[in-house]
Structure 1
Amino acid sequence: MQAETIWMDGTLVPWEQAKVHVLSHALHYGTAVLEGTRAYGSAVFRLDEHLERLYRSAKMIGLAVPYTMGELRAATLETVAANGLESCYIRHLVHRGYGELGIAARTSPVVVSIAAWEWGALLGDRALRLMTSSWRRNDPSTLPTAAKATGPYLNSVIAKNEALDAGYDEAVLLNAAGYVSECTGTNIFVVRDGVLSTPPSSAGALDGITQDTVEQLARDLGVPVTRRDLLRTDLYTADEVFVCGSASGIVAVESVDGREIGAGPLTGKLQDAYHAAVEGLDDRYHHWRTEYPLGA
């Protein structure tokens, strides 16, 4: 996993020296936002969209990012290039650091870091067995689920562990109204009668960049796409189900709560289209790739 250097507040520091204080505010209260991005073939995929969401998330939880988007864009490319990584996972983190330890902690500094390392597909490449979690997705009226913030991820952690302990690969989280929201780190899609559907952000789902990518790829394949509320029974009766995220790509689903999902062609077509887009094999999506020189 380990690369050579991590970017921290304007400086590339050795991996083992990239440390924070044990009394950092984010460690105690979850006051941080993050992004997970990937590079393929010396190009970061949809970097600008990820950085834009990072700034939106920070604004939602009251963090003022002390760098411009242009500065973080350049820092991202500098980090992956300096580590000699042609393909990798990239983690942006903006957190409230060491200072005042009260709840508000308005005087605590805001720290920014960028790390990159080689990391395979998070969920592997085989079809997944999903279970509906007993835990509900965070409610937008309680926490800003539109923000990719660290604190709310405890919801995903306990749901994921519940699924693993029960012998499944991943958990599906329902919202307070009983509608499907998302999985613990991915958006979810269903295919039925040739139509592709995914839960809207109003269901508590993160407005996913890979989710958006899949929707655009599907439309270019002539597939109707909709965002709508889904019940768990919509998963059971779907022709196909798959999940997607920057860390995992597009992964087919084999079953949900023990109900087998029929194998279908659209998931495979979208996987092929996604691979072509991220690897730069389809010129229509070249604008999604930000290239960088290795060894810079």
Structure 2
Amino acid sequence: MANPYPHVYLGDRIVAAEEATVSVASSAVLYGLSVYTVFPVHVAGAAHTAFRLDDHFRRIEESCKIIGIDRFATEWDFDRFYAAVVELIGRNMPTTDVFVRATVHVVESIPGTKVRGCAIRLSMFVYDAVPIVPQDGMRLKSSPWRRIPDNAIPSRAKVNGAYVNSVLAKQDAIDSGYDDCVFLDGNGHVCELSAANIFLVRNDTLITPDVSCDILDGINRRTILTLAAEDGIPVVERTVDLTELYIADEVFVTGTSAGAAPVIEVDGRVVADGRPGPVSQALRKRHSAALRTDTLHGWLTTLA
């Protein structure tokens, strides 16, 4: 990840990046007890717009509720969150597109393994919008590490500590010469990548694992499903077998930090002819436009 911009939001004010710290004795450090979201901010001249900001705030709310971080709901609402984002962007004044990572940390000191009633602190920082995966064709490897199931650490909550699972799987893929991993569940069904949702196209139908398949219910995933439906592309959300990826006409992934990136190889098998396909290319173009110029869905929030 690129270094953060110089001004960071922490608690209730802007501080210098090097001063944005939490205690080594906090639950956030001791247990990875934080939840987060990342959203893009588009820059057009002096104007800044955030993509699906209300949905990203809702993601933090829901992640806190799932994990039991109860003080967020009493201390934060969308208006306060929006004002903090506006202040953060206004102080940093990015001139190119950026990502903002917003995190709720449980900062109670040495509380033991509990969460309710514990003190929290919100942090937000800005960094350059550099994709975390290749944009011209990814090579994926199915991981020997299984996706954490919903009844262990639920994937629909973006819990910082749970990303050890993603680190193990992606590092294995990198060590093996691939760009990223494909997570499978305990039954061998496809879940997602280390930090992106996955889609395949077969017989002109867009297919993706459903939300009961130990996946993050991704905001960009939902965006792609909406755009596909508007384009008249048949969409199926269901259980997906690994071998379906091997014989797919197209495979691509989505996520805030991944964009809408094509996949050209899975486990040494070339996807179709090894080039990004027409459906993924069309949806990628529409997704990119939605991030910057959407006027139909109300997905853009002006930061002013």
Give the TM-score category using the shorter length. over 0.9
| Counterpart for residue 91 of structure 1 | 101
Q: Distance in 2 between matches of 1:153 and 1:46?
A: 23
Residue 114 of structure 1 pairs with residue 124 of structure 2: yes
Residues 183-202 of structure 1, C-alpha deviations (whole Å, 9 max, x = no match): 00000000000100110121
Q: Are the counterparts in 1 of residues 69 and 115 from structure 2 also a CA contact under 8 Å? A: no
One-letter amino acid of the structure 1 residue matched with residue 150 of structure 2? P
1:62 alignment counterpart? 68
Give the partner amino acid of 2:295: D
In 2: Cα distance, 1:175 partner to 1:82 partner: 43
Instruction: Report how far residue 98 of structure 1 moved.
Output: 3.9
Correspondence for 1:259 among 248, 251, 269: 269
CA separation in 2, counterparts of 1:105 and 1:243? Answer: 34
**Match for residue 200 of structure 1?**
210
What is the alpha-carbon distance in structure 2 between the residues aligned to residue 19 and residue 152 of structure 1?
21
Q: Secondary structure at the match of 1:203?
A: coil
How far apart are 1:121 and its partner, in Å?
Answer: 1.4
Identical positions, percent:
34
RMSD between aligned alpha carbons?
Answer: 1.3
**CA distances 1:164-203 after superposition (whole Å, capped 9, x unpaired):** 0000000000011211011000000000001001101211
Is the Cα contact below 8 Å between 2:169 and 2:181 reproduced in 1? yes
From 289, 295, 299, give the equivalent of 1:276.
289
Moved more, 63-72 or 30-39: 63-72
| Counterpart in the other structure of 1:38 | 40
* Structure 1 segments (4+ residues) deviating >4 Å: none
2-structure distance, mates of 1:221, 1:187: 20
1:74 to 72, 83, 86: 83
Q: CA-to-partner distance for each residue in 1:111-145, whole Å, 9 max, x for gaps?
A: 11111121311213220000000010001112222
From the superposition, tell whether residues 75 and 260 of structure 1 become closer, same or farther in structure 2 (CA, over 3 Å).
Answer: same
- SS, match of residue 28 in structure 2: helix
- Secondary structure, counterpart of 2:296 in structure 1: helix
1:69 shift after superposition = 2.2
Q: What secondary structure is seen at the aligned counterpart in 1 of 2:151?
A: coil
Q: Hey, what's the Cα distance between the residues in 2 that align with 1:218 and 1:105? A: 40
Distance 1:105 1:267 in 2: 42
Tell me if structure 1 keeps the 8 A contact 2:51–2:291.
Answer: yes
TM-score with structure 1 length normalisation? Answer: 0.95
Alignment of 1:106-255 (within 5 A): 106=116, 108-255=118-265
Q: Which amino acid aligns with 1:85?
A: P
2:303 counterpart residue number: 292
Q: Is the 8 A contact 1:100 1:108 kept in 2?
A: no
Q: Which amino acid aligns with 2:299?
A: W
State the distance in 1 between where 2:163 and 2:13 align.
28
Conserved in 2, the CA contact under 8 Å of 1:236 and 1:261? yes
Separation in 1 of the partners of 2:209 and 2:117? 38
CA distance in 1, matches of 2:64, 2:302: 26
Taking the aligned partners of 2:227 and 2:140, their CA distance within structure 1 comes to 25
Alignment correspondent of 2:58: 52
The AA in structure 2 aligned to 1:60 is: I
Measure, in 2, the Cα distance between the counterparts of 1:17 and 1:67: 22
- Residues 24, 227 of structure 1: CA spacing in aligned structure 2 closer, same or farther, 3 A cutoff? same
Task: Report the alpha carbon displacement of residue 11 of structure 1 after superposing the two structures with TM.
Answer: 0.4
- Residues in 2 aligned to 1:141 and 1:106: alpha-carbon distance in whole angstroms: 19
Instruction: For residue 108 of structure 1, report the CA deviation from its aligned partner.
Output: 3.8
Q: TM-score, normalised by structure 2?
A: 0.92
Kindly state the Cα deviation for residue 63 of structure 1 after the two structures are TM-superposed: 0.4
Which one of 20, 23, 28 corresponds to residue 22 of structure 2? 20
Q: Do 1:99 and 1:105's aligned partners in 2 also have CA atoms closer than 8 Å?
A: no
Please tell me the residue identity of whatever aligns with 1:149.
V
